[in-house]
A = this chain, B = another copy of it.
């Protein structure tokens, strides 16, 4: 029976599930393993630091379903944990491959570097269990293949990250490759058909009989890969359909029944009213978190809530053990064969995008900028949006059909976007034709967290358009708290010098600083800007302490809560009394 190395087996499995680029930071404990990336005909896309590697793998997974990256044990892997935790939260299937010290060295109790200076080797593996769906350290060649398969199958099944430790003396151990012929389980197991019929019938009844049905699409809608089904359902039912901050980009906004963004109290009045009065709320992949609900200000009838998650459908108070993907497919099939009797599908009575002051003159405002970007975005764009102002603002832009995007609403790690963009845009490049331009929208504070990722975009010959929103500090943070606080000051970069600093050999262009509405209008009309022929930075300088509506409202909500805390500490607030 043919033999392969343990490392070969791992990389062959990654290839089988569509991964062609592996990210990571080359360091000790991984060299021998990294040699096998190449011999297994994968690309290694090395990154400057582990958090870039982690998020790059996540961005890659969002486009190509799965991602992988390699770090060294200890100091290296720990630097990636924030990314892993984010992927765990947001259901992004990424394999974190960790180069471990040799089993022989560990068994001998040697004190190796990257440890706690002791002979304990289990600390980091244990820590990882809280932020991954499965963990293994391949200490035994005879179980290595089974362990790799267990972890990767869990990653796929749960759509969550996993941790695979590969000791230096195991990476090259010979194992039989026979199980490579058995594919990993890429599809969820089928539903109990009887139960599925009950659910479909129940859903149809709600759809037929309720007076004010509506649909809300949240982040887990895309993480569970139901984008096509959700859009099909929107067409077939004609029910008003909304997205949350995290769901933006999932729904085709040119549908007549697209109603805009729902974000609790921060929503458009008509959107708020529709949700508050709905008697049948079909809510896909909900994450009822603070940021996703206008600081927990969602107001709707809980008994009208029909929640669709990866492994369950909840109808009012009843939970059904069925997978949403198959339920939606069956429901669509049912609706195609026997359409709803009710008449729905008229155009929304309101403009799904907020009214704003879009006067094309004067200093650049957030309102005008987001309006202008609505015209800039086009079919095929894949937008990675930073959290904070960028995420709030982009929620208010109008997307043409075929514009994709994501942000990281729940995990909410600042800096994720620039890091993730490396992998996301690499994936777009590999999937040539499916997407067009890669667009990164980031505030400057967030960009500063990880500016070194620019060098990767340059040397991987990615050609994104990078919008840097410069308000000389973290605008959403300032709005949320304090208009002037000194601690929010960030460094003053010269963005025009960034491409030179990080890769002068590459073709790049810089436009900016754009300070007025007129300048932005001219810029957006420039074909050199609209193309994606080279790495492009566009620096937008926004009027200070000014943001668009939803951010201001969210900020006001935070203000209120904070003030409350300052004035009224909890009851047991004095010591010793």
* B contact residues around A130 at 8 Å (CB): 123-124, 126-127
* B contact residues around A474 at 8 Å (CB): 26
Docked-complex contact B79 and A74, CB < 8 angstroms: no
Q: How far is the CB of A169 from chain B (nearest CB, A)?
A: 4
Specify how many copies of this chain sit in the oligomer.
Answer: 2
* B contact residues around A574 at 8 Å (CB): 3, 141-142, 174-176
Docked-complex contact A90 and B117, CB < 8 angstroms: yes
Choice from B49, B291, B459, B569 contacting A173 with Cβ under 8 Å: B569
- Known contacts A74-B85, A172-B565, A565-B102; A141 and B570 CB within 8 A of each other: yes
- Known contacts A27-B414, A168-B565, A562-B168; A452 and B451 CB within 8 A of each other: yes
* B contact residues around A498 at 8 Å (CB): 501
Docked-complex contact A142 and B572, CB < 8 angstroms: yes
Choice from B31, B88, B415 contacting A562 with Cβ under 8 Å: B31
The total of chain A residues at the interface (CB under 8 A) is 121
Choice from B34, B89, B170, B416 contacting A569 with Cβ under 8 Å: B170
* B contact residues around A414 at 8 Å (CB): 25, 27, 75-76
Tell yes or no: A351 within 8 A of B by CB.
no
Docked-complex contact B458 and A491, CB < 8 angstroms: yes
Docked-complex contact A113 and B565, CB < 8 angstroms: no
Bound complex: CA A25 to CA B76 (Å):
21
- Chain A 162-179 interface 0/1 with B at a Cβ cutoff of 8 Å (1 = within): 000000111111111000
Docked-complex contact B575 and A141, CB < 8 angstroms: yes
Bound complex: CA A412 to CA B115 (Å):
9
- Known contacts A116-B88, A491-B502; A485 and B35 CB within 8 A of each other: yes
Bound complex: CA A540 to CA B339 (Å):
73
Interface stretch among A103-111, A311-319, A424-432?
A103-111
Docked-complex contact B79 and A75, CB < 8 angstroms: no
Docked-complex contact B38 and A486, CB < 8 angstroms: yes
- In the A-B complex, the 3 residue pairs with the smallest Cβ-Cβ separation, listed nearest first, are A75-B413, A455-B491, A173-B569
